[in-house]
Amino acid sequence: MTVRSALLVVNLIVLVGLVVYAILSLRRSPESKAPENLTPFLADEDLEGRRLERVLGWALLFAAVIAVALPLYWLREPTRQKQSVDYFQNGSVNRGATLFANSSMPAYNPTVSLQCANCHGAKGEGGSVKTTYDPDGDGPLPALQVTWTAPPLNTELLRFSQDEVNQIITYGRPGTPMQAWGVAGGGPKNPQAINDLVNYIQSIQLSPATSQANAAAALETARKAADTQVKTAEDNLKTAQTTLAQAQQQAAKTNADPKASASDKANALAAVNYAQNAITNGEQSLAWAQAWANFRENVTDGQLLFELNCARCHTKGWSVFDPTQVRGTGVLGPPGGGGITGPNLRGGTEARRFATPQLQADFVATGSDFEKPYGNGGLGSGRMPGFGQMLTKDQINQIVNYERNVIDSTNYDVPFDGKVSGSNTGTGTVPTTLFTSPPQG
């Protein structure tokens, strides 16, 4: 039981005691009495004796209690204030946890939860969501059903301030699956609920050291990603070849069986067709993976860091890009060519905006503030996060070098002669590419 709760209980007991005493007093003396100030009291001879000593003794005792209690209360006051703040903060975090939770989490409440975890992960580590994406706006290419990569939230407050995160949740991110959740942005939640969500997100933040270690691990994974995709494609093709051999063997056995029905033979043939289509898809996927690996052989760490941390805002289509898809680069614009929320960084833009690489590195580390100037003629929107706690100075410098000196010479136009797979026959479902347009620069 907390001190606050104990004091409430004590006060309640005293109050009940006073009420009981008053009732009992009335029952003992139902007759009315004269006012105390008109009732004769004891004579001086009776007062100046043991009675006076007892009264003075009680007065001394209570004075001693006050003399000890007041300093103790004053000493405890800062702690009490902190506990009060923590009490309200913990309540806010718990409400935010309920809003954030999905059905797999203990805090989930089907009548309250917004299920943010469905997109951003149960621990805020990032995730994905199915959505519709139009690669060229209202152009000739059709809208596609894609998987949108949702950013992690366990580093959100290492990049943005609490006010900026509040704005993002309230008004959403136009052009992305992130909808507006605040009433001011057209959503269902009042400012207190948005504040509860921000407080919960604050509670799951990684430390800067952990975030930088994760960034280093992600960079190492990105260095090996293309080769990993080749290995995965090779393994999938071998599996498909084994499946085809087994299907052919089973089909031959079924056709030779005089008791086999026409339906059995049709199913066996469908299984062979399915396996043959899987091999065709596997060969095309392997050819694409090898082309992608060759194309990415000399990619610098600066470009990889840009893709891991900056491309989702500054490169069109990056959030739906899947390099394992055949001709997956067809959805991408040029690196740094501008995206849904980020401006164009190509054509020497950054060298003109920032006179020196150090000035640009400082901006990348701190981010922009709403309507505050930066660089040469820049005016902050508050949407540019600061990466100074997430990335090391060396990693930020590599990104700056890439943006100032290399970004104009890079693209995603991968030489590839493989054909995009079409529909498949047979039982089951064979994955096919979503991207049927030729690669664009």
Nearest Cα residue to 273 out of 49, 427, 436:
427
- Output the pLDDT for position 343: 92
Which helix (H) or strand (E) element contains residue 145? strand 144-150
Local structure of residue 327 (DSSP, 8 states): T
Q: What angle do CA 83, 86, 92 make, to 5 degrees?
A: 150
φ and ψ of 119, to 5 deg: -100, -40
Nearest Cα residue to 247 out of 424, 421, 427, 422:
427
Which helix (H) or strand (E) element contains residue 377? none
Name the 3-class secondary structure at 374: strand
Can you tell me the distance from the alpha carbon of 403 to that of 384, in angstroms, rounded to the nearest whole number? 15
The domain ranges of the chain are: 117-203, 208-409
| Structural contact between residues 107 and 96, judged by C-beta atoms closer than 8 angstroms | no
Could you tell me the two tokens for 120? 């951003």
- Output the pLDDT for position 34: 74
Local structure of residue 402 (DSSP, 8 states): I
Handedness of CA 182, 311, 322, 328 (dihedral sign): positive
Name the 3-class secondary structure at 95: helix
- Output the pLDDT for position 54: 86
- Output the pLDDT for position 193: 97
Pair type for strands 127-133 and 144-150: antiparallel
CA 317, chain centre distance (Å): 20
Contacts of 290 (CB under 8 A, 6+ apart): 230, 233
Can you tell me the distance from the alpha carbon of 431 to that of 428, in angstroms, rounded to the nearest whole number? 10
- Output the pLDDT for position 151: 94
Local structure of residue 420 (DSSP, 8 states): P
- Output the pLDDT for position 18: 82
Cα separation values, 212 from 127, 249, 305, 313, 388, Å = 19, 53, 12, 20, 10
Can you tell me the distance from the alpha carbon of 241 to that of 117, in angstroms, rounded to the nearest whole number? 39
- Output the pLDDT for position 308: 96
Handedness of CA 386, 391, 394, 398 (dihedral sign): negative
- Output the pLDDT for position 418: 66
User: What number does CATH give the domain 117-203?
Assistant: 1.10.760
Q: For the whole prediction, is pTM greater than 0.85? A: no
| Structural contact between residues 119 and 129, judged by C-beta atoms closer than 8 angstroms | yes
Per-residue pLDDT of the chain (441 residues), as tens digits, is 666 677 788 888 988 888 887 777 766 666 677 777 777 777 777 777 787 888 889 999 999 999 998 888 888 778 877 888 888 999 999 999 999 999 999 999 999 999 999 999 999 999 999 998 877 666 666 777 889 999 999 999 999 999 999 999 999 998 899 999 999 999 999 999 999 999 999 999 999 999 999 999 999 999 999 999 999 999 999 999 999 999 999 999 999 988 889 999 999 999 999 999 999 989 988 998 999 999 999 899 999 999 999 999 999 999 998 888 766 677 888 999 988 889 999 999 999 999 999 999 999 999 999 889 999 999 998 889 999 999 999 999 999 999 999 999 999 888 877 654 433 322 222 233 322 232 232
Nearest Cα residue to 327 out of 285, 384, 359:
285
Name the 3-class secondary structure at 162: helix
Handedness of CA 11, 16, 18, 21 (dihedral sign): negative
Could you tell me the two tokens for 301? 């760490």
